Structure 1
Amino acid sequence: MTIKVLRGNPTPEELAAALAVVRARAAAAAAQPSGAAEPGAAWSDPARIAGRRLPAPGPATWARTYWPS
């Protein structure tokens, strides 16, 4: 793994902290099963609202389509 500092002049302690974060993230990604979804991806999954019934057409339908309830 190579880290290149493009701007600034970090201290050795700052570089060690940044490297610790990068290595921890890499270890967490390696430990996650390959079929698991990303932690933040569930909210944008269309399947989470696909099972719900769509509102019936009417004058106030537009207000009920934004936040499914």
Structure 2
Amino acid sequence: MIKVVRGNPTPEELAAALAVVRARASAAAAAAVVPGPDPGDEWSDPAARIPARRLPHPGPRAWRTSYWPR
């Protein structure tokens, strides 16, 4: 139920507002139905096997290690 608190909207303005509300409600319902990733997929992800890149520590010689090849 939509209640107009202030103003005097035209039927076209009410129809536009109702269309926006219905579109957002249907988008939220569609997003809630999409299943998430399978937890077992994380173990088989090849990106998980790549070791994390070492980041240089701040200091006077940090510029030397700012580019380490992988």
**How does the TM-score come out when normalised to structure 2?**
0.47
Which structure: larger Rg? 2
